[in-house]
Chains A and B, each alone.
Chain A
């Protein structure tokens, strides 16, 4: 049996700053600043590590940083996206709780690389209970001289502030997040311009996920070469996965990318399925990811392998689901709940998404209330996704279409 291991990030879990320093904490930042490693060299090292964004899209982090213009009349910003709202996702929560210093160190290094004197943590309101702890960690880091003016006598100044959201899934989308920080409703912006050139208050801005930033000090501690050899060539490093649903032991686990299959994750880490359930499938990367069937689970967990199966590793949220008695009714109910989420969270900016998610939901509801005959309803439902896909500023509406389409396809034995 594969035990849950402390690989890279979990090894750095420390809830007090002395413990963190004892584990080599802040040594990466120290080495960079004291050895005059240039911002460009930092970006190159991150590129070499192969690190990809852990928020969902998997975009190469070093490349994202390199888009920030070297010279800017406006101040540059780093924003840490701690708004993980994709249903089933709770791995950033554990970093905020158990490795806040690792995150802070990563933020300072990232800010140094892009030339930002100020950064923010956009914390979802649902995590208000973590706010004070995080604030304390920032304060303590400042007291030890790793934040503030002239950090380690390098001439580099940096401050971190927390910004708490007010409840809106869409604000996890980076441009909606920026709108929210500017005091507006969270409407995603049309891109381009990208945040790297016009971000927060028009300033060049990098938005990185919590786990992405937590990987930065580790890359500089072990070296990009060594880091890039962990995992697979295209999915380097480890990932924190959030395992939940009908497994016996849900939780946050750290895995080496590509070295463990979804089935092993469920059987060995999750200790299998609870007795009252029959396994029906797995959503491998948050509910925007199409489900994989029980016979499709011998796939290694990394971006490419999951994509080859027609789904995505997304935010690392693995929801294992099943049914107790009535497969058709229970699977349909799960689809209904997933669609309900997108309908609720559509921000309303783009018509195809705003209206489309409602129409899909209403159709499903009519079917469940038997206002439409099941067979006929499914036929109607099948036609809707294509009317939404590819027509909006952000992927929310599209995700609703994809989950509907994929459920109807994968469970066509009962949803027909």
Chain B
């Protein structure tokens, strides 16, 4: 995404939060993460200029949260919950399959904590959309679609 449209989007978020720059920080980081898949040093600089928050403070905040990252990834990330209810419903088998077939996957995968889909366990998220009652078959299907 080009620099100007990111700037516009940051300003839109800032408007939504009635000009409160600190309040807008995490929503801005979320937006860039979702748009670009990571948050670059260049973006941190831009955010810092617009929100008047020091760069090192932005980095401090963003490195704290699971779903914000400074690391550029080539592929999408599939989050697989392995917490208790998912574990009791086969999340380990899903993780094993993913690990064994890592080289053939069109996405990256990461174990995550409870995503509030325990009634459809094992569950995951891709693009922050729910994947319910996961099976190895569903993983294969997903791999073809991506």
Contacts and interface: CB of A to CB of B under 8 A. Distances in A.
Same complex origin of A and B: yes
Interface of A: 84-90, 93, 124-129, 161, 163-169, 180-186, 201, 242-246, 250-252, 277, 283, 287, 317, 319, 321-322, 333-334, 337-338, 341, 344-345, 347
Interface of A, helix, strand, loop or mixed by DSSP: mixed
Nearest to A322: B88
Given A161-B17, A163-B23, A244-B118, A337 B129 contact: no
13 contacts: A88-B84, A88-B85, A88-B114, A88-B118, A166-B33, A168-B64, A181-B26, A183-B53, A242-B119, A250-B121, A287-B84, A319-B84, A334-B84
B145 interface: no
B115 A180 contact: no
A87 B84 contact: yes
Given A90-B116, A341-B83, A183 B25 contact: yes
Interface residues of B, number: 43
B102 to A, nearest CB: 21
A167 B61 contact: no
B98 to A, nearest CB: 17
Given A180-B26, A182-B22, A250-B121, A245 B85 contact: yes
B97 interface: no
Given A88-B118, A89-B114, A127-B116, 17 more contacts: A87-B83, A87-B84, A87-B114, A87-B118, A88-B114, A124-B116, A129-B129, A166-B66, A168-B66, A183-B23, A184-B57, A184-B60, A185-B64, A201-B22, A242-B118, A250-B85, A345-B113
Contacts of A87: 83-85, 113-114, 118
A319 B84 CA distance: 8
* Closest 4 pairs (CB-CB, A-B): A167-B66, A183-B25, A185-B64, A166-B65
Contacts of A287: 83-84
Contacts of B85: 87-88, 244-245, 250, 319
A166 B67 contact: yes
Nearest to A84: B116
A169 B22 CA distance: 21
Interface string B48-78: 0000010001001110111110000000000
A125 B128 contact: yes
A163 B84 contact: no
A283 B64 contact: no
Q: Of residues B33, B64, B113, which shows the largest number of chain A Cβ atoms within 10 Å of its Cβ? A: B64
